[in-house]
Structure 1
Amino acid sequence: MSEALEERIAHLVRAVDDLSDVVTRQGREIDRMTRLIAMLAEREAEREAGSGEAPAANARPPHW
């Protein structure tokens, strides 16, 4: 019985380690995407400010 418990614990420890690696990797990816979104938002704000025109969402369609 003791050997079966040790084997089960070993499998559970491995699963926890694997999940920890996945969470760590996902955290890094989320951080990278957050930085990218902030950079893109800043770039878009600069583009809108530099154009002097209304953003396309606020501009009237050409057929008006």
Structure 2
Amino acid sequence: MAVDVKSRTKRYEKLDFLGEGQFATVYKARDKTTNTIVAIKRIKVGHRTEAKDGIKQDSPP
């Protein structure tokens, strides 16, 4: 399924930076449609495969 990134970014108003980790950055935002406060996790480009590999390596058999 294709995701329309532009329409999703227009739906949310970024309010504050919450934190950052190795693979993602998290922001506090407001959903303009429902007027609720949400957290948005933005995955850093290039880390998706690395994250999968890390999970496989660190998980017990």
TM range (shorter): under 0.3
Which has the larger Rg?
Answer: 1
Greater fraction helix: 1
Greater fraction strand: 2
